[in-house]
Amino acid sequence: MSNKFANLDSASHDIEKRQAYVTEMFDALAPRYDRFNRWVSFKQDEAWRRQAIHLLGNRASGLVLDLAAGTGDLANAAILAGAEQVHVFDISHEMLKIAKKKLIGLDESVVGFEQGSANNLPFRDQSIDGIVSGFAMRNVFHFLDDVLAELHRVLKPGGKFAILELSRPQNKILNFGFKLHMQMVMPVIGRLATGSASPFGYLCKTTMTFLTPQAFCERLQKAGFIEVGWQSFLFGGIAIHHGKKACE
Ligand SMILES: C[S@@+](CC[C@H](N)C(=O)[O-])C[C@H]1O[C@@H](n2cnc3c(N)ncnc32)[C@H](O)[C@@H]1O
């Protein structure tokens, strides 16, 4: 079942079934998700998150949307960097429950929690200064262009985005090592951190079949974004895509 939804090359995804599978998987993973992230990245994800916020430039001090926020780590990083207000938006009720615990004590005027789907955002046109999103694009691949169109709609003119995602080293030898790591090491760390190895088959397959950074940039440009580019980390295993909406 998971392989059917994990292979992003296959065009035969039933959108509703894939989304139901993804939502159920993250609901189940939620209580152990943070531990997995820290273990598998050797805590480097915290630096990548800070860099994603940094790439928003002065837009990071306004209203920031953490899209498919999960447990809210990017939202938290945005608040620590001085964001005036953040929206923590995700489809998974269980993920949002953890995010609420993490961001407890913050005033409602500073942080809002919204449950919904990234292809239909409950925000006004041109109302958001900066958008960040971590490790989510593979999970909304079944309606990726709709999601990017929504990001473009809600962003203010001149607003910026930074999208953190797993990627693949471009170098063939590094890519071979990366693939081995994803297939052999990640499921072991995943099992130790979460008690189950099965979501990591999905993680590995979606990573190996996701768009190259160049191809993802083309999709971002097609959605109307400008000054699109990416920064690579971990020999190309991680990419932060960034860009902006044109000023009017
Ligand atoms: C790998 S987790 C990433 C969580 C967090 N952004 C991070 O950086 O750790 C992917 C998240 O995407 C969310 N998600 C999946 N499909 C979604 C959708 N259609 N709309 C909004 N969120 C979605 C999942 O619930 C999950 O929290």
Read off the pLDDT of residues 124-175 as tens digits, 9 standing for 90 and up: 999 999 999 999 999 999 999 999 999 999 999 999 999 999 999 988 999 8
- Three-class SS state of 80: helix
pLDDT at residue number 37:
84
Residue 185 above 90 pLDDT? no
Residue 148 in domain: yes
- Residue 113 maps to a domain: yes
pLDDT over 50 (residue 182) = yes
Q: If you average pLDDT over residues 114-124, what whole number do you get?
A: 98
d(C-alpha 246, C-alpha 248), whole Å? 6
Helix (H, G, I), strand (E, B) or coil at 151: helix
The model's pLDDT over 158-170, given as tens digits with 9 standing for 90+, comes to 999 999 999 999 8
Residue nearest to atom 27 of ligand 1 (CA): 70
Q: Considering the domain boundaries, does residue 206 fall inside one?
A: no
Q: Is residue 69 part of a domain?
A: yes
Residue 63: what pLDDT? 98
Q: φ, ψ for residue 112 (rounded to 5)?
A: -120, 140
Cα–ligand 1 centroid distance for 141 (angstroms) = 11
Tell me whether residue 205 is in a domain: no
**Which pLDDT value is given to residue 216?**
98
Q: For ligand 1, say whether the CB of 123 is within 6 Å of any of its atoms.
A: no
Between strands 238-244 and 226-233, the pairing is antiparallel
CATH number assigned to the domain comprising residue 95: 3.40.50.150
- What are the pLDDT digits (tens) for 80-109? 999 999 999 999 999 999 999 999 888 888
Confidence of residue 40 (pLDDT cuts 50, 70, 90): confident
Does residue 177 or residue 121 have the better pLDDT? 121
Q: Which residue has 């309606």 as its token pair?
A: 143
d(C-alpha 82, C-alpha 60), whole Å: 7
Geometric angle at alpha carbon 38, from 102 and 183, rounded to 5°: 135
pLDDT at 186 over 90: no
Across the range 198-209, mean pLDDT stands at 87
Whole-number Å distance, alpha carbon 222 to ligand 1 midpoint, is 23
Dist. CA 132 → ligand 1 center (Å): 12
Classify residue 23: in a domain, yes or no: yes
Q: What is the pTM of this model?
A: 0.95
Q: Which amino acid appears at position 123 of this protein? A: F
One-character DSSP codes across 166-217 = E---SSHHHHHHHHHIIIIIHHHHHHHHHS-SHHHHHHHHHHHHSPPHHHHH
pLDDT digits (tens, 9 = 90+) for 209-235: 999 999 999 999 999 999 999 999 998
| pLDDT confidence band for 12 (50 / 70 / 90) | low
Contacts of 95 (CB under 8 A, 6+ apart): 26, 27, 30, 33, 69, 70, 71
Q: What local confidence, expressed as pLDDT, does residue 11 receive? A: 60
- Does position 2 have pLDDT exceeding 60, yes or no? no
Mean per-residue pLDDT over the chain, rounded: 92
Cβ of 134 less than 6 Å from ligand 1: yes
Identify the pLDDT of residue 91.
98
In a domain, 40, yes or no: yes
Q: Which domain holds residue 108?
A: 12-168+211-244
pLDDT tier, 243 (very low <50, low <70, confident <90, very high otherwise):
very high
Q: Is the residue at 135 inside a domain?
A: yes
Give the per-residue pLDDT at 201: 83
Q: Is the CB of 135 under 6 A from ligand 1?
A: yes
E strands present in the chain: 63-67, 85-90, 111-115, 128-134, 155-166, 226-233, 238-244
The confidence band for 1, taking pLDDT boundaries of 50, 70 and 90, is very low
Q: How many domains does the chain have?
A: 1
- Closest residue by Cα to atom 26, ligand 1, is 70
